[in-house]
Amino acid sequence: MLKQIIKGFLDHLGIEVRRVRLPDPPGSPPIPDRELYRPLFSPWLGGGDFRRYYELAAPKTLVSPDRCHVLQTLLRQALHVPGDVWECGVYKGGTAGMMAAMLQDAGSAKRLYLFDTFAGMPETHATKDWHRQGDFADTSVEAVTRHVGHADLCVISQGFIPETFAGLEDSRVAFAHIDVDIYQSILDSLAFIWPRLSIGGFVVFDDYGFPTCPGARAAVDEFFKDRPCVPLCLSTGQAIAFKSVT
Ligand SMILES: C[S@@+](CC[C@H](N)C(=O)[O-])C[C@H]1O[C@@H](n2cnc3c(N)ncnc32)[C@H](O)[C@@H]1O
């Protein structure tokens, strides 16, 4: 839409904009899926399975296509790791609905555990967080339950993390998506999940690199400072912690 408005404006001024494509060197083989090189291979700009699952998330998520592509890729990897899939920070259920559909279609026996207040952020840290108590309150557990569906494989838990982890002490986790944005919620989520994460499993932090979430990076760096795991910071803003030793 914005592109069309800008194009219309430039047309009005008589300025023609064309994408310039450098020719392949003579004799070089054609690049498969060339239109997805912008400038590097960016499969989240394409169609296929990625797009089909992303469309389930899109109307309800704050998570951009490139970050959803990271989630989809790691979820497919997690199918081969013992344990369930957890998401801390569900909001309107966008990424949750996408992951639930993927688990269902894969015929996986894994369950998807979903944790949120569904009533907005709890109290936030006065100096570490930009978010404030009550942010993200425009949702409800009923609306999310309807949107996510797949009631047979989803376990939706409403309330404050870490209280809502009570009773799950014997859990095993293959993959956790921690998307709670704030310092204390990330530390509390990690403190419970990391010891229960299978070897070969991983945690994705959605907010690690966002300037609006300084508490997220502080919590992740603090948690892993003295542990044998070095989180991988991605250009999407996410970070991933892979568990290779206990
Ligand atoms: C950015 S939103 C999640 C976005 C979502 N994954 C999506 O697809 O758009 C962050 C969520 O974390 C939740 N949250 C943060 N701290 C929490 C805590 N301690 N307990 C429960 N929910 C929490 C908020 O209520 C909010 O809904």
CA atoms within 13 A on the CB side of 99: 34
CATH class given for the domain over 48-242: alpha beta
Categorize the per-residue pLDDT at 23 as very low, low, confident or very high, splitting at 50, 70 and 90: confident
Q: How far is CA 72 from CA 62, 81, 128, 132, 206, in A?
A: 15, 15, 30, 30, 13
124 alpha carbon – ligand 1 mean position (Å): 12
The reported pLDDT for the residue numbered 42 is 96
For residue 181, how far is its CA from the centre of ligand 1 (angstroms)? 7
Ligand 1 neighbourhood includes 179 CB (under 6 angstroms): yes
Higher pLDDT: 201 or 12? It is 201
- Is 124 a pocket residue for ligand 1 (Cβ < 6 Å)? no
Rounded to 5 degrees, what angle do the CA atoms 144, 148, 152 make?
A: 115
90-134 pLDDT per residue, tens = 999 999 999 999 999 999 999 999 999 999 999 999 999 999 999
**Angle (nearest 5°) at CA 112 between 107 and 117:** 160
Structure tokens at 52: 């089909």
**How would you label 145-154 residue by residue, b for 16+ Cβ within 10 Å and e otherwise?**
bebbbeeebb
Q: From its phi and psi, is residue 32 left (phi > 0), alpha (psi between -120 and 50) or beta? A: beta
Q: Whose CA is closest to 83, among 62, 108, 66?
A: 108
The angle formed by the CA atoms of residues 115, 90 and 107, to the nearest 5 degrees, is 85
In DSSP notation, 207-226 reads: TTT-TT-HHHHHHHHHHHTT
Indicate the domain borders of the chain: 48-242
Q: Count of residues for the chain?
A: 246
Closest C-alpha to ligand 1, atom 9: 61
**184 Cβ closer than 6 Å to some ligand 1 atom:** no
**CA 88 to ligand 1 centroid distance, Å:** 7
Q: Is the CB of 121 under 6 A from ligand 1?
A: yes
Confidence band, pLDDT 50/70/90 cuts, at residue 24 = confident
Could you report the per-residue pLDDT of 198-230, keeping only the tens digit for each? Answer: 999 999 999 999 999 999 999 999 999 999 999
The pLDDT of residue 227 is: 97
pTM: 0.92
Exposed, middle or buried: residue 214 (CB in 10 Å: 0-12, 13-18, 19+)? Answer: middle
